[in-house]
A and B are shown apart, each in its own frame.
Chain A
Amino acid sequence: KAGVTQTPRYLIKTRGQQVTLSCSPISGHRSVSWYQQTPGQGLQFLFEYFSETQRNKGNFPGRFSGRQFSNSRSEMNVSTLELGDSALYLCASSPTLDRGVRNTEAFFGQGTRLTVV
């Protein structure tokens, strides 16, 4: 079974630009979550999608957005990039079926390294 695939692996953007990152979850997984990892703040939750609906959101400004498609693939978008947005962005998929069902582990992709210059 293929793992979580994130594209691209590396990205360099200029301040003020926008960027879109892509995540293909493990086949059959319906929940996709995004995390930002920086040396200063560590791993921080961005948002989670389940069946094309955002069902949980972290404490990030509105410049960060995402969506999920009917095939469970997900994209996240960051508009008006700032230097502080430089980070490793990790996507995780989970076979969680619905709230109330016992949680299982999240499977992470290798991440997209975004550098804003």
Chain B
Amino acid sequence: AQSVTQLGSHVSVSEGALVLLRCNYSSSVPPYLFWYVQYPNQGLQLLLKYTSAATLVKGINGFEAEFKKSETSFHLTKPSAHMSDAAEYFCAVSDPGYSTLTFGKGTMLLVSP
């Protein structure tokens, strides 16, 4: 069975500071990994995905994530936070070839001026 653990239900940063959201996964097969963002009363928007190609994945809005098999991690980073980045972020895992996603509990990113 697959699982995802997101460390920290809330992360607070100042505008312009580094954003680091942590995600660790458990999977019996090489996984596909995803980061989604959710704004209030909205659906999920894909930020980036890892599908066994390059381990450093660049996404939209300046976000990137690095797949580290030895650490079973897929942390999300952004060099400089903007106020508009305030939202909830979800890490998800799936088996290759399957559409079903297993999500972490989410991390709420708070950005202060």
Measuring CB to CB, which residues of chain A are less than 8 angstroms from any residue of chain B? 4, 6, 31, 33, 35, 42-45, 48, 50, 56, 90, 92, 94, 96, 99-111, 113
Contact = CB atoms under 8 A, between A and B. Distances in A.
B61 interface: no
B101 interface: yes
6 contacts: A43-B106, A56-B100, A90-B44, A106-B46, A108-B45, A111-B42
Interface stretch (B12-20, B62-70, B72-80, B89-97): B89-97
B41 interface: yes
B97 A33 contact: no
B44 A56 contact: no
A29 B30 CA distance: 25
Interface string B1-45: 000000000000000000000000000000010101000011111
A105 B49 contact: yes
B76 to A, nearest CB: 15
A33 B102 CA distance: 12
Contact of A106 (B51, B99, B102, B106): B99
A55 B29 CA distance: 20
A109 B41 CA distance: 11
A103 B42 contact: no
B97 A4 contact: no
